[in-house]
Amino acid sequence: MTTQTATPLGKKPRLMNKRSGISALERERARTGRVMILPAAILVIAVLGVPIGQAIYRSMEQWDGLTATWIGPSAYTHAFSDPTFWRVMENNALLLLAVPFAVLIPLGIAFLLNEKVPGWKVFRSIYFMPTAISWVVIGMVALRFFAQAGPLDSIFSAFGLGFIHPNLLSNQHQALLAVGITFVWSMVGTNTIIFLTGIATLDPSLSEAAQVDGTNAWQRLIHITMPQLRRFILFSSTLTMISAFTALFSLIFVMTGGGPGYGTTTLEFFIYQNAFGQGQFGYGALLGIVLFVIMAVVGLIQLRLLRVDD
């Protein structure tokens, strides 16, 4: 049953469904919208859905690129019982410890640059520089910096600590630390830009009022700026976390090659080693599905937190 809603003179009445409260015009718009997005949906399914489906199927095969033997879901059981797999996952988990540093350091830099400290324009260009450099170049610089008799060794010598002779890339845990430090440095430029953009969208009257009340820069950052930047902090954290899983291949390839042993092998690099290094494309597909699921979970958590923030 429908009723006519009251309308101004000269306008056609709008039909309203009593039960749902949705007008016929709104239902027609929704129907038209679904029809219009259908071509895009079909394209997404063809470009993304089909390859993902093929990867899931291949992940349950012992496939070397030419011949394939069906294993079934037991392939996942075998992978999850492999100590090397869990060592690689542990490396990824340890690299996630660098995420807070890769977010908080740029946040502090962005706040200082926004305060227009002397030379802030020059510093802004310096902090942006890592963003304009490729991962390969960053890896080559880090390789020389952390190597024995490299610049890091010279820095220790300059401070009277020449007896230390650091060679971080020769030890499994130290090499992972070197990769983590390089990763943090490489994300400084991107995250600083994100936070500078976020600060530019804030209402300056709140900070000005707090300054008039006698608050210092640290108090304004903690109690005024950071709460307003919550969405930008969440976005930066998610971007950094995704980068820790999916963007370190070139860096690790140049710096350590995944070694010593599996000391710096991440899940992304492990996929490359098995699929293209050893020709185990089935196992590589399986690891790719695991990485895909992890990234999907991270994305869903981000959407959930953004929805709660709204």
HEC string for 58-111:
HCCEEECCCCEEECCCHHHHHHHCCHHHHHHHHHHHHHHCCHHHHHHHHHHHHH
Judged by DSSP in three states, 16 sits in: strand
Q: What is the pLDDT of residues 228-286, one digit of tens each?
A: 888 899 999 999 999 999 889 999 999 999 888 899 999 999 999 999 988 899 999 99
- The whole-angstrom separation of Cα 220 and Cα 91 is 37
pLDDT for the residue 163: 64
pLDDT for the residue 214: 79
pLDDT for the residue 14: 47
φ, ψ at 15 (rounded to 5°): -75, 130
pLDDT for the residue 21: 53
Q: What is the pLDDT of residues 78-96, one digit of tens each?
A: 999 999 999 999 999 999 9
Low-confidence ranges of the chain (pLDDT < 70): 1-22, 120, 161-165, 308-310
**Contact criterion met (CB below 8 Å) for 147 and 178:** no
pLDDT for the residue 165: 67
Question: DSSP letters of 158-196?
Answer: HTT-TTS---GGGSHHHHHHHHHHHHHHHHHHHHHHHHH
**Contact criterion met (CB below 8 Å) for 18 and 3:** yes
Percent of the chain scoring above 70 in pLDDT: 89
Which residue ranges make up each domain of the chain?
83-309
**Contact criterion met (CB below 8 Å) for 176 and 261:** no
pLDDT for the residue 148: 76
pLDDT for the residue 310: 56
pLDDT for the residue 215: 79
Looking at the chain, the number of H-run helices and the number of E-run strands are 16, 4
- The whole-angstrom separation of Cα 265 and Cα 256 is 9
**Domain 83-309: top CATH class:** mainly alpha
